Structure 1
């Protein structure tokens, strides 16, 4: 009663079954429009809920899950991480920082490609439509003469 009078509202914690959390962790995958930080946040939230319910996944299981459930654009990154580092000793923070660096590199390449498309555009090098195809405006301009002897009737 005193808490309500002081304006403090207690939140009810809805218990989540351990089975539902296990299933959520099992089907967890990175979305195509999701960045690395968002995916790690979602994954660690589920792992922390499981830990609060008494089921600790452990660092290695979480790292393996993240590596298996990334989008295909990270396939080559995941392979290089698995080959160069020991997965059993790899921390979640190390994995996250490695993936963020690769994500930033990929976004930099995409930005550079877009800049190149804008600067080069669709220029054919001519002045206006029909340049150098001998079908310009009017008669007699840029007209190619052809040998009528080759024409068969």
Structure 2
């Protein structure tokens, strides 16, 4: 009986953890509005191309500094990114909240987003795009990135 209770409790905990991660995720629709602050330098979605900054399709789960259609990252960014496995929610929050404070000498001139809800929302928006610019489930993308 004790084993059955433990299995049931463990299963309930797993479901609660999954629900909490979806519940704690930002709102991609609100993040699209926040992304307007990024559009001068970045593109996302179908047909996105590099601009002053790299295109951001499929960024969630990707290795920082990898891919991005031939975009040339600064040497300081490449050095910072060298030991990072994947853009996950935590790493994106650090980067987007203070790019110049995170990587001295980065080409990214943006001062960063300071409001926690804006950060969560724009990360959820970024997570809603796959590598081709098509839509994907942002919850699943963020979970996969966290596992890397």
Q: TM-score range by the shorter chain?
A: under 0.3
Larger radius of gyration: 1
Q: Which has the bigger relative contact order, CA under 8 A and spacing at least 6?
A: 2
TM-score scaled by length of structure 1: 0.26
